[in-house]
Amino acid sequence: MQKKKLTYTVEEAKRALEHYCVYQDRCHQEVEKKLREMKMIPQACEVILLHLMEHDFLNEERFARSFARGKFRIKKYGQKRIEMELKQRDISSYNIKAGLSEISSEEYILVLNEISRKKFESVHEGNILKKRKKVADYLLRKGYESNKVYEVLRELESENNS
């Protein structure tokens, strides 16, 4: 196992962070955290961040877009949760909108219907109100809008009652 270096020159730090950003899209917050872990001085941090942005290693809009795509397609998160997580990473509202635009409304509704149906079938609860609440809570935690959640649940209940 390779030991972590204790000190870095500006050039070494640039190369290390280039590799860090190439491996996966990163936001400024993650890169700044990495710079603090490397114990870089503020002036060096500015130089390195500027270098990464100028050479397109660090791009907030690209990060927001890939983050939104990934969290939606892999983890099946809703738009509210994705937006909240991007805000926690200090992403601008412009870039958050750009990221959310990666999710088509048709695909969004299909995924919401699919995961709500799976959850509805997997919850074993005799009382329909308790079952509905468990499924709704699950979908709301995933970040789906409450009006869409309750609309989907009404459709599921009408399917099961007929």
Distance CA 106, CA 42 (A): 46
Q: Are residues 73 and 50 both part of a single domain?
A: no
* Number of domains observed in the structure of the chain: 3
For residue 144, pLDDT over 80 is answered with yes
As a whole number, mean pLDDT of residues 85-97 equals: 96
d(CA 2, CA 18): 19
Percent of all residues in the chain with a pLDDT value above 70, rounded to a whole number: 96
In a domain, 4, yes or no: no
The answer, yes or no, to whether residue 120 has pLDDT greater than 60, is yes
Domain contains 1 = no
Q: Does 79 reside within a domain?
A: yes
Please tell me the pTM assigned to this model: 0.88
Mean pLDDT of 78-86: 97
What phi and psi values does residue 64 have, to the nearest 5 degrees? -60, -40
Domain enclosing residue 16, as ranges? 10-54
- Tell me: pLDDT of 5 over 70: no
Same domain, 94 and 64: yes
pLDDT at 161: 72
